[in-house]
Chain A
Amino acid sequence: MRRRTLLQLLLSLAAALPARIKLWAQAPLLSEADKGRIRRVAEIVLPRELGDDGRERVVAAFFRWLQEYRAGAEMDHGYGFTRLRKTGPSPADKYPSQLDALYARAQASGGLAAMTEDARRAAIEAAVVEAKVERLPARPDGGHITTDLMAFYFNSVEATDLAYHAAIGRDLCRGLDGSENRPSTLPTGVR
């Protein structure tokens, strides 16, 4: 089969896909440049206790979460007040422009990388205020890249364990044995 014919066939197959599948397939990927900019944001919005490796692990997991996000997927339809809902567009759609605005603001002070930590923090706080985000969402929702990254991490099983210095393991299948005891203290260095 000639290359053009194959391409036409693939395009026609794609056109025939149900809308929901197409929506999932269209989840935008962040550019490497945007990923780099998010890593700089992570230095401020994630706790230092994670260390460089831990922070990079969280950021990588965040990128993976975005990659596997499905727009238009069925959501839980609730109990008591029930309605059918679907997930919205990928939150990543909004990140490039949010990062542009954040970095443009920082550019006036020599760029985010050149700024002191306090100045970077102030720039991010200003961006959060401007985005009118009032609380951490349950999951990233596109409100702002900074608060989405924080929500992604701080709502995790790992963050809860870190906050409590305890191996709670919420949502992990842990068995009943020993659950009558206080959760064990996290070993030193576990993040």
Chain B
Amino acid sequence: MPVFESDICVIGGGISAALLAQRVSELKPGRSIVVVEAGDRLFDTEKRRQDRVRSLNYGENPWPGDFVEDQAAAGIISRTMAVGGSALHWGGVCNRFSAEDLRLKSMYGLATDWAIGWDELERFYCDAERVIGVSGEPSPLPQDRRSEPYPMPPMVLSWNLRQLKEWAEKSGIAFWSTPQAKNTVPYDGRSDCKRCNTCEICPTGARYSPDYTFKRLLASKAISLHDRTLVRRLVPADAGGKTPRIVSAQAVHRDRPDDPVEYRARLFVVAAGYCWSPHLLLSSSSSRFPTGLANGSGLVGRYMAGHSFISAQIELDAEIYPGMNEQHSLISREFFRCATDRPFVRHDLRVWESSAGRAPRLKDDRGRILLGDSVLADWRGRTKRGTARVRAYYDVHPSIDSTLTLDRTTTNRLGDPLPRITHNLDDATVARLPETKRHILDVFNRLARANNGKVLSTSEGTYLDHPAGGCRMGTRAGDSVCDSFGRTHDHENLFVVGSPTLPTAGCTNGTLTFAAVTLRSARAVADAL
């Protein structure tokens, strides 16, 4: 059996793995780092451009081969499993959480407090913004104070967003340019944004993607990358009682499933995201650890978190040209804070240009079929007004029964049970949902009313976005899986980093926070070497 030995074995190949490997290699140069990822490496940038065109023209997968057919999870948000992870195709939005997210229990008596203070996390936000490359406009709200400027100037507001900002601010709510991991000037060896409108597959490299980090680490020989290799279980030492060290990771290369591979390392870092990280710990069960590893608390695969959302399309008097920069948006953080003596509701607020109601159609309002000239005439008649898409991510908190479990009825080709994620909200969240939704719809109507607008439609999300949790951090071994650095309470040389460690998932995009806590973990990992 092939055995690979290293100082650190990183399991998973997404943004957390990339940033952790990068930072540890900087802090401890010369130490051996092996990154093991089940998916493929999709590094061919010329092919990326071709795939983008096929995606636009034919609806084909913009990232062909970015999944492992038999490695699926019920309830997962994305099938992507490749070097780069979900951040291969993320939109690049880099919002921060706020201090309230870290103090929900002490401020509001809700959920739990994080084991990190805001001032410390804020420094790692700055760090993450530098490493990823974030362009942003500082929030005008004093509570959003930053200790460092954004690394790059904000994305210019397109004509459309300028019109929408003018419209939206008539409601009395301030909006500004959403910070993004997109270069507005050449940065870190990558191009500036060319406004291609397809950030999910950026053809220029302007939007950060973890594969750039991996390529650089490989070029400098800072890491070894073992792709197409699925880690099936971690193995604890025989010694150490209930808190042994981890001695190896057992894996198989997807092309040689009958030929196991073993990884031995001083430290193991599970950086496989909110789904596959708890899944690996649960899958590492044995007669000695029947509920899996790092699970003395019984909380591995518990408190699966995320945020809910409500969207609306609002018709308004504005000259909007759909397609100018569809993926860029305005943001307001005015509703991030909630007075402690008022009903709890927290959400972000985003505004995009939209083509809803402005697209060509086959039938007019009376159901008459339109052909040729009449399609164009009908379409032009509807371009006189514009449409805004608005969305609020709102804060919801998981119950302990928000779970990831091993579904023994569904297995991969190796016979390993696959994950099943079932989100459940805690009682307080459920009780306030009607009021939360009413508040958000009121905000949408307030926006619409401010300038002769009309809410065309509203819709509620059917899943929790930017999911996290499953290995939550905490100060006590009894109510958390790991400490604030991701070191598991039960195994001193086993870390979990990134999204799984979050106790709650905030009310805005999570990736920057996943990156910030990972960079913070990286220091502890390096110190542990």
Residues of A within 8 A of B (CB): 44-49, 65, 68-70, 73-84, 87, 121, 124-125, 128-129, 133-136, 138-139, 146-147, 150, 154-155, 157, 159-160, 162-164, 166, 168-176, 179-183
**A-B CB contact pairs (8 Å), 10 listed:** A73-B54, A73-B58, A80-B461, A125-B371, A139-B58, A163-B376, A163-B379, A175-B193, A176-B193, A180-B162
A160–B323 CB distance below 8 A: yes
Specify which chain A residues have a CB less than 8 angstroms from the CB of B359 in the assembled complex.
Answer: 155
By the criterion CB–CB under 8 Å, are B77 and A45 in contact?
no
Contact A171 B196 (CB under 8 A): yes
With contacts A45-B371, A76-B61 known, is A172 near B196, CB below 8 A? yes
B59 & A139 in contact (Cβ 8 Å cutoff): yes
Expressed in whole angstroms, the minimum distance between the Cβ of B356 and any Cβ of chain A is 14
Establish whether residues B159 and A121, one from each chain, have CB atoms under 8 Å apart when the complex forms: no
Whether B137 sits at the interface, judged by CB under 8 Å, is: no
**Bound CA–CA A46/B374 (angstroms):** 9
Contact of B58 among A69, A136, A159 (CB under 8 A): A69
**CA–CA, A49 to B372, complex, Å?**
9
Residues of A within 8 Å of B379, CB to CB, are 154, 163
**Contact for A170 among B319, B322, B380, CB less than 8 A:** B322
A183 touches B159 (CB 8 A): yes
Which of B79, B362, B462 is the most central at the interface, judged by chain A CB atoms within 10 Å of its CB?
A: B362
Docked-complex contact A128 and B60, CB < 8 angstroms:
no
Given A136-B362, A164-B321: A77 and B369 within 8 A (CB)? no
A182 touches B375 (CB 8 A): no
B residues at A contact (CB < 8 Å): 54-62, 64-65, 67, 69, 76-80, 155-159, 162, 184, 192-198, 203-204, 319, 321-326, 359-363, 369, 371-373, 375-376, 379-380, 383, 461-463, 465
The answer to whether B192 touches A150, judged by C-beta atoms less than 8 angstroms apart, is no
Q: How many Å lie between the Cα of A78 and that of B77 in the bound state? A: 8
**Is the pair A49, B376 in contact by a Cβ cutoff of 8 Å?**
yes
- Please indicate which of the listed interface residues A73, A76, A155, A181 has the most CB atoms of chain B within 10 Å of its own CB: A76
Cβ-neighbour of B184 out of A74, A75, A168, A176 (below 8 A): A176
Residue of B nearest to A136 (CB): B362
Q: Is the CB of B321 within 8 A of A168?
A: yes
With contact pairs A46-B372, A173-B195 given, residues A74 and B64 touching in the complex (Cβ less than 8 Å): yes
What is the CA–CA distance of A191 and B162 in the complex, to the nearest angstrom? 28
Nearest A-chain residue to B76, judged by Cβ: A82
Contact residue among B65, B156, B361 (Cβ-Cβ distance under 8 Å from A179): B156
Which residues of the other chain, A, contact B203 by a CB distance below 8 angstroms? 173
Residues of A within 8 A of B60 (CB): 70, 73-76, 87
Do B373 and A65 touch (CB < 8 A)?
A: no
- Report chain A residues within 8 Å CB of B383: 163-164
- The reply to whether A48 and B463 form a contact with Cβ atoms under 8 Å apart is no
The complex places the Cα of A79 from the Cα of B309 at a distance, in Å, of 14
- Contact A146 B323, CB 8 Å, known A163-B376, A170-B197: no
A168 lies within 8 A of B196 (CB): no
B195 partner residues in chain A, CB cutoff 8 A: 173-176, 179
Give chain B residues whose Cβ lies under 8 Å from the Cβ of A176: 155-156, 184, 192-195
CA distance A70 to B359 in the complex (A): 26
Given A73-B58, A81-B462, A84-B67, are A180 and B159 neighbors across the interface (CB < 8 Å)?
A: yes
Residues of A within 8 A of B380 (CB): 163
* A79 lies within 8 A of B360 (CB): no
Write out the residue numbers on chain B whose beta carbons fall within 8 Å of the beta carbon of A164.
321, 383
A171 CB to closest chain B CB (Å) equals 5
A154 pairs with B360, CB closer than 8 A? yes
CB-defined contacts of A133 to chain B, threshold 8 Å: 362
Question: Would you list the 9 A-B pairs with minimal beta carbon distance, nearest first?
Answer: A170-B323, A154-B360, A173-B194, A74-B61, A173-B196, A47-B376, A77-B79, A125-B369, A179-B158
Q: A136-B361, A163-B379 are in contact. List 15 more A-B contacts (CB 8 A).
A: A46-B372, A48-B373, A73-B60, A74-B61, A80-B461, A129-B369, A136-B360, A136-B362, A150-B371, A157-B323, A168-B322, A169-B323, A173-B195, A182-B319, A183-B324
Cβ-neighbour of B465 out of A73, A74, A80, A159 (below 8 A): A80
Assess whether A47 is in contact with B463, with CB atoms less than 8 Å apart.
Answer: no
In the complex, the answer to whether B197 meets A82 with C-beta atoms within 8 Å is: no
Instruction: Find chain B residues with CB under 8 A from A73 CB.
Output: 54, 58, 60-61
Complex CA distance for A173 and B194, rounded to whole angstroms? 5
Contact (Cβ within 8 A) A75 B156: no
- CA of A118 to CA of B62, assembled, Å: 42
A47 touches B324 (CB 8 A): no
Q: Known A75-B61, A121-B371, A176-B155; judge A168-B323 contact (CB<8 A).
A: yes
Chain A residues, CB < 8 A from B194: 173-176
Which residues on B sit within 8 Å (CB–CB) of A129? 369
Min CB–CB distance A178 → chain B (angstroms) = 9
A174 to B203, CA, bound (A): 12
**A175 and B204 alpha carbons, distance in the complex (Å):** 11
Give min CB distance, B505 to chain A, whole Å: 15
Is the beta-carbon distance between B55 and A79 smaller than 8 angstroms? no
In the complex, the answer to whether A150 meets B363 with C-beta atoms within 8 Å is no
Nearest CB to that of A48 among chain B residues? B373
Q: Are A180 and B371 in contact, with the CB atoms below 8 A?
A: no
